[in-house]
Amino acid sequence: MAISSELHERIKRAATDLRRELWGEKGFPEWGTKFTQIEDECCEVGDVLTRELMGQGLGEQAQVKQRPKECGVCGRDGVEDELEPKIITTRRGDVSWQQRKYYCKRCRKAFFPSGRRVGA
């Protein structure tokens, strides 16, 4: 996926604000800070941003009402049960959100219809 030029510009502006949060009002690390330390700090910020984007997006996606979900065992429609916390380990760390859980009255089992598609 290519990032649009508009989104790239918003990221640049956000980076300016984040530099001040990370390194103080001057917006840059102390002279003599090792490059590996600067890289580690920046990667940590990037990882937190990535996890937050994914968690928010997946959480909102999970709230969208769709057609009834089929049980993976018997194929019958499941009944919406409740939201349950989901956590998936990604390349950037754990991502968490609330996932809609369904219940199959015939099999008497709870299931998450999107589990296989997102790698759970």
Mean pLDDT by 10 residues, the chain (120 residues): 93 96 96 97 96 93 73 84 88 91 86 55
DSSP 112: -
pLDDT value for 116? 44
Q: Which domain holds residue 104?
A: 33-120
Residues 6+ apart with CB under 8 A from 4: none
Q: Evaluate whether residue 23 is within a structural domain.
A: no
pLDDT value for 93? 93
Q: Which amino acid is at 49?
A: L
Q: Give the position of tokens 């996890």.
A: 51
CB 82 within 8 A of CB 110: no
Q: Evaluate whether residue 105 is within a structural domain.
A: yes
Q: How far is CA 98 from the centre of its chain?
A: 11
Q: Which amino acid is at 35?
A: F
Q: Evaluate whether residue 81 is within a structural domain.
A: yes
Rounded to whole angstroms, how far apart are CA atoms 55 and 61?
Answer: 10
Q: Evaluate whether residue 17 is within a structural domain.
A: no
